[in-house]
Amino acid sequence: MAGDIEEIKSKADIVQIISERIATKKAGKHYRALCPFHGEKTPSFMISPELQIYKCFGCGEGGDVITFLEKYEGMDFNEAILYLSERTGVKLERGAFQPKKEKEKIVEINALAEKYYHYILQNHSLGKDALLYLKEKRKITVNSIDKFGIGYSPQNQSLFENFFIKKKGIKQDDLVRSGICYERYGKCFDRFAGRIIFPLYDHRGNPVGFSGRLMPGVDRDAGKYINTPDTPAYHKSELLFGLNFVKDDIKKEGYAIITEGELDMISPWQRGVRNVIAIKGSALTDAHARLLSRFTQNLTLALDSDFAGNTAAKRGIETVQSMGFKVKVARLGKYKDPDEMAVDDIKKFSKSLSDAVPVYDFIIDSAFEKYDSEKIDGKVDISKEVVPFLSKINDEILKAYYVGLLSKKLQVPYDSVYAEVEKSKIGRITREDIKEERVRTDGKRELIEETLLLLTILRSAQEAGELKRYIKSIFAKRVLEELISYIKVKEFNVKLFADNLPTELKEKFREKYIANSIAYERSGDEKMANETEDLKRKLELIDISESQKGLIAKIKESESRGDKKDVKTLQKKLNELVDVKSKYFKPD
Ligand SMILES: [Zn+2]
């Protein structure tokens, strides 16, 4: 089987697979794109046709075609292999492949459950009240009920058992694992009994779970809404309700409207506002943002009217902002949620979207509504609420604008507000900080050695042997050793070489290779040869400086011991070194 996978990987062209999903652009021998895994404005996502890998120099994501499908499409390893085997026509040996994964099994059970619930709602007498409620009270059309696969789970336990266990032969354990059921006293109970069912699809349209809204009048001591618990197929923090239906609408409109609940999504949708999705709960997560960034960088929040007081919601906004999203907020006025507003007056809802204000204005306004800005306590409270948001603005001009706005509204000096904003920044370590730190602590020698090694590989790997005396740092030395033994037995091929490197060297090598081949792409042979000599000379100089330092330390030691003879010998050596060093600075 391992052979099959290698064959599939080598036949699947990573450039093509990625380019079908995101816009890529050829740049020299690489392809460049805006990273689909983090928000960015200038492309740092590189695809190397040569190595058949991708690497983002912004967020660090990287891997081969299978990793990409796993991360981008949410496929598991098996799904990715099956998908690629179909694409490439490489047949997988029958039976050699693993049995269906847990996730697929759950999706299958869910698909069945979806049909069952939907049938009950539309055709069964037990679903009549729920159907009436949806159509009359909630103004949901039959078209929407079909489109979103809405259903109803009756409180009749035997109906459930007959269908799933007796008729369809599904094992109780599997029903429990899918989350549709829970187990009590060895028996299986319908988790969603008495609820209107909204299937939850992943962005590819697989039913991964359900959300159940209690029918009014049904007495149960559980929440109005419950969801499938997290399973291998369903992760609450990743799901965006409706996304599978409106991906293209979001791209077309250039932004996504974020709401909180299923009906907040469906109501505007069936009235023609299509680029709308719902998060499960009030907080946007990292995973939501990564998924959304494939479709847009612009979000308009249409959340329940009390969201400004919600810490989780605020944290969510900070998250997406720090990932480069532009966030606006629609004001719903007297309405408690988008559903209520859309049902009452869809034009008003559309207008609230076009009038949406940048999130900072919204935060400032809500704080001023909440506290009395005439009183000193009120000013402090307002500042406490607003400042953390402003401190996360990366654009200095934008930041200065809002600091100015806040100081004017609070009637306090600009500098004091600015100082508060800066103070709030301290203590937060960003990815940028870490990156910078890494650059700073990367030894100079290490970096030069690595560049020398990669440059040699780019020019002519066969000459690797000549580097032995220059390379001393751990990573470069180990790669060099691997390289020397590789070229002894076969002709150099960078992909095969990289693929066969020990795991701990592989990723760093690939990263360095791509970075250096981009850096030297436009350099001709001569320039690269000169650069090579230059780097060698730099390393020699570093060597000399290090020996010098060692000698000086020894001299000091001998002096303190009063060993004049020793001092003299050492001094002579030191002078010789100075001579050698000075030669490096003479013009040739
Ligand atoms: Zn990235």
How big is the chain by its Cα radius of gyration, in Å?
32
For 522-558, write each residue's pLDDT tens digit.
888 899 999 999 899 888 888 888 888 888 888 888 8
Which architecture characterizes domain 240-355 according to CATH?
Answer: 3-Layer(aba) Sandwich (3.40)
Averaged pLDDT for residues 151-168? 88
DSSP structure string for 393-461: ---HHHHHHHHHHHHHHHTS-HHHHHHHHHHHHTTPPPHHHHHHHHHHHS-HHHHHHHHHHHHHHHHHG
| CA 373 to ligand 1 centroid distance, Å | 42
Residue type, 397: I
Cα–Cα dist 588/583, whole Å: 9
| CA 240 to ligand 1 centroid distance, Å | 21
Structure tokens at 287: 């995973």
Averaged pLDDT for residues 312-328? 80
| CA 29 to ligand 1 centroid distance, Å | 20
What's residue 490's pLDDT? Answer: 86
For 447-482, write each residue's pLDDT tens digit.
899 999 999 999 999 889 999 999 988 889 989 999
**For residue 33, which phi and psi values (nearest 5 degrees)?**
-155, 165
Of 422-426, 500-504, 561-565, the range with the lowest mean pLDDT is 422-426
**Domain spanning 103-234 has what CATH number?**
3.90.980.10
Cα–Cα dist 460/487, whole Å: 11
Q: Does the structure show a pLDDT above 60 at 435?
A: no
| CA 46 to ligand 1 centroid distance, Å | 9
* DSSP H helical ranges for 222-375: 243-253, 262-270, 286-292, 311-322, 338-344, 346-354, 359-370
- The domain made up of 2-88 is a member of CATH 2.40.240.10: no
Give the range with max mean pLDDT: 9-13, 19-23, 577-581.
19-23
For 38-82, write each residue's pLDDT tens digit.
877 888 899 999 999 999 988 888 889 998 998 888 887 778 888
Residues near ion ligand 1 (Cβ under 5 Å):
35, 37-38, 56, 58-59
Cα–Cα dist 461/465, whole Å: 9
Contact 382/371 with Cβ under 8 angstroms?
yes
Dihedral sign computed on CA atoms, order 220, 224, 225, 229 = negative
Cα–Cα dist 511/338, whole Å: 46
Contact 352/362 with Cβ under 8 angstroms?
no
Best CA proximity match to 39, nearest among 328, 231, 436, 327: 327
Best CA proximity match to 168, nearest among 208, 203, 116: 116
Structure tokens at 444: 């100079």
What's residue 98's pLDDT? Answer: 53
Q: Residue 375: which residues within 8 A CB-CB, separation 6 or more?
A: none
Cα–Cα dist 251/268, whole Å: 17
Three-state DSSP class for 229? coil
For 105-158, write each residue's pLDDT tens digit.
899 999 999 999 999 999 999 999 999 999 999 999 999 999 999 999 998 888
Three-state DSSP class for 287? helix
**Between 237 and 107, where is the model more confident?**
107
Q: What is the mean pLDDT of the chain?
A: 86
Q: Does the structure show a pLDDT above 90 at 328?
A: yes
Give the range with max mean pLDDT: 125-129, 182-186, 444-448.
125-129
**What is the strand order of the sheet 62-63 is part of?**
24-27, 30-33, 45-48, 53-56, 62-63
| CA 245 to ligand 1 centroid distance, Å | 26
| CA 115 to ligand 1 centroid distance, Å | 39
Contact 304/282 with Cβ under 8 angstroms?
yes
Assign domain 362-431 to a CATH class.
mainly alpha
Q: Does the structure show a pLDDT above 80 at 218?
A: no
Cα–Cα dist 95/77, whole Å: 16
Neighbour count for residue 193 (Cβ, 10 Å): 17
| CA 40 to ligand 1 centroid distance, Å | 8
pLDDT band at 247 (very low <50, low <70, confident <90, very high): very high
| CA 195 to ligand 1 centroid distance, Å | 41
What kind and span of H or E run contains 114? helix 102-123
Q: Which residues on neighbouring strands pair with residue 277, listed in sequence order?
A: 258
Residue type, 309: G
DSSP 239: -
Q: Residue 182: which residues within 8 A CB-CB, separation 6 or more?
A: 176, 188, 189, 191
| CA 224 to ligand 1 centroid distance, Å | 39
| CA 34 to ligand 1 centroid distance, Å | 8
What's residue 305's pLDDT? Answer: 64
What's residue 580's pLDDT? Answer: 76
Averaged pLDDT for residues 178-192? 87
Cα–Cα dist 401/398, whole Å: 5
